[in-house]
Amino acid sequence: MLRPAVRLPRVLRRAASTAGPGRRLLLSTPIFYANGPPHIGHLYSALLADALHRHRGLRGAGPGRLSTGTDEHGLKIQQAAIAAGTSPPELCAQISALFHQAFTQAAISFTDFIRTSEPRHCQAVCHFWAALEEHGALYKGTYEGWYCTAEEGFLPESQLVERVDAQGRPFKVSAESGHEVHWTKEENYMFKLSAFQDPLLKWLRDNPRAISPDPFYQRVLCWLGEDLPDLSVSRERSRLQWGIPVPSDSTQTIYVWVDALVNYLSVLGYPETHSEWWPAAHHVVGKDILKFHAVYWPALLMAAGLSPPERIFVHSHWTVRGQKMSKSLGNVIDPLACNERYTVDGFRYFLLRQGVPDRDCDYYDEKVVKVVNSELADALGGLLNRSTAPGINPSNTYPCFSETCFPKVVDYRETEALGRAAAEDYEFVVSVASLPLQVASYFEDFQIYKALECISLCVRQTNGFFQRHRPWKLDRKDPAEKLWLDTIIHVTLECLRVYGTLLQPVIPHTADKLLSRLAVEPEEREISSLTFLPRYSGKPCPFEGRQLGPDTGILFHRLEKSSQHQIENKRL
């Protein structure tokens, strides 16, 4: 079939407000398929986006939005509704409510929760389709190939493997997911994806940070080095009724992935107000949907006259005791049960501390308990408790820093001790002073787990500093001893203030409790204005002499070890 050439827009429309300080930015999770309740993989996506969104807000980087929601059209949902004895709209309403509840309970600070069944989204999709048609990016043709219902897409032969069923009959499945495929032939609309191979390669080569981490960037480059066949973007309406009809052809339904991807524009008011934000968008997605976001979506945007998103952050999956989560194995982990078992902040911390985006990570109960007890309850909570205890700090104040006890030196490695501080004390203070910039750099590079690793190391160093100088052994009645005792506490509280401020995007409730105990006011909690130990540099400290906040008890209660893996055994 002869296909008319696609008309590539000469200038992709860019929003004027996407550069410079104070710029707008949309952070997004994928929208989650409404054929089953949320699991911890969904929560992990949302937590990554939430932490990035919160950190950016605390830096005062400019207006920000965080979008999430549910993907509610497609054959899978049509079939799931029939199996459940309900209608697609009723099933979607139930599942969407579960996602909304799970994310609200987990303190995901979303500003937009989009459902693809909403009128605003359907209107946006129809307008987007019209833009594709207007630019000559669509044509009607016969398509046949191996179709995977579970993944809502056609797969090439190279991505399939053959299996044998219980009766010895061969069948084909996706090599990556294991889902069965069926040979399908139908007439539908095709998107001229092949015309965008060179523009996509140029976009990626000009923007090496467009996809992070790098292994996923390299994977997309490999895909673009292979044949890029045109994409089927509609389905026969006789087979798929639960979806948005093609505006000019009532016999066809718009492909669910084209429908779903437009959600990132719908939340911005496309086609009227999206240009105030787009393309200043950072998508957080799982590796299983990388091709849809890093190949199909940018090409569709280019074809519609829009620029690709600025960045795509990709993460890997969570396994359970080394096994892939699956309903058949009964090991799908319920995030609501996890929040109840480990607390909201405890489970947030575990997923973000242990999750490494470029490799699969493993969940099991004992691991969560060990990490959370060690780093939140013992190290961080214990440090706050010890440094604010009445026996150590009877006045319940932020005590004074003594420059005589802890004098500033040019190079602590080459200077003999002048006060009470040792060389390792200077080394640890340097580590804490560099922490805010280090954390910001790791957040920027989508390495939140490394930021938390650095914070955890500094917390351990602070505990070492406190233990090394044994303030409980010092005599407060001796003026010289009192100066050193107050300095030890001052340095410790300054460290805790830094940790509490930097941990706000990850454990918001616990960080608030810590900062309130230190009497840090809400307007004093921005990362952008965070300074550490100003008295060491001869500058005033606004907290010095301030009365501490009320004692609210243990910062983070230790989790009890479980004799049975009740969460892992709970089926969704």
Mean local confidence (pLDDT), 159-174? 87
Measured CA to CA, the distance from residue 549 to residue 37 in angstroms comes to 41
Measured CA to CA, the distance from residue 498 to residue 433 in angstroms comes to 9
Range of weakest confidence among 70-79, 123-132, 303-312: 70-79
Residue among 493, 505, 504, 484 at smallest CA distance from 549: 493
Q: Is the pLDDT of residue 172 over 60?
A: yes
Mean local confidence (pLDDT), 389-416? 85
Q: Which helix (H) or strand (E) holds 209?
A: none
Q: Which amino acid is at 544?
A: E
Evaluate whether 291 touches 539 at the Cβ level (below 8 Å).
no
- Supply the pLDDT for residue 1: 38
Q: Is the pLDDT of residue 413 over 90?
A: no
**pTM, 2 dp:** 0.91
Mean local confidence (pLDDT), 156-160? 84
Express each pLDDT in 241-281 by its tens digit.
999 999 989 999 999 999 999 999 999 999 999 999 999 99
Mean local confidence (pLDDT), 314-329? 89
Q: Is the pLDDT of residue 301 over 50?
A: yes
410, burial (CB in 10 Å: exposed 0-12, middle 13-18, buried 19+): exposed
Q: Is the pLDDT of residue 466 over 70?
A: yes
CA distances from 423 to 249, 466, 536 (A): 76, 15, 15
Helices and strands, counts by H and E, the chain: 19, 19
Express each pLDDT in 473-520 by its tens digit.
999 999 999 999 999 999 999 999 999 999 999 999 999 999 999 999
How high is the mean pLDDT of the chain?
91
Measured CA to CA, the distance from residue 518 to residue 512 in angstroms comes to 10
Mean local confidence (pLDDT), 316-345? 91
- Supply the pLDDT for residue 568: 54
Express each pLDDT in 111-154 by its tens digit.
999 999 999 999 999 999 999 999 999 999 887 888 887 776 77
Mean local confidence (pLDDT), 49-70? 97
Instruction: Please report which confidence band the pLDDT of residue 43 belongs to, taking 50, 70 and 90 as the band edges.
Output: very high
Q: Is the pLDDT of residue 317 over 60?
A: yes
Measured CA to CA, the distance from residue 81 to residue 91 in angstroms comes to 6
Please calculate the CA angle 431-544-460 and round it to the nearest 5 degrees.
30
Domains and CATH numbers, the chain: 25-315 (3.40.50.620), 378-547 (1.10.730.10)
More confident residue, 11 or 271: 271
User: How large a percentage of the chain has pLDDT more than 70?
Assistant: 93
Express each pLDDT in 198-212 by its tens digit.
999 999 999 999 999
Helices (H), 405-555: 423-433, 435-444, 448-469, 479-502, 508-517
Q: What are phi and psi of 303, to 5 degrees?
A: -65, -30
- Supply the pLDDT for residue 414: 58
Measured CA to CA, the distance from residue 369 to residue 557 in angstroms comes to 11
Express each pLDDT in 89-114 by its tens digit.
999 999 999 999 999 999 999 999 99
3-state secondary structure (DSSP) of residue 356: coil
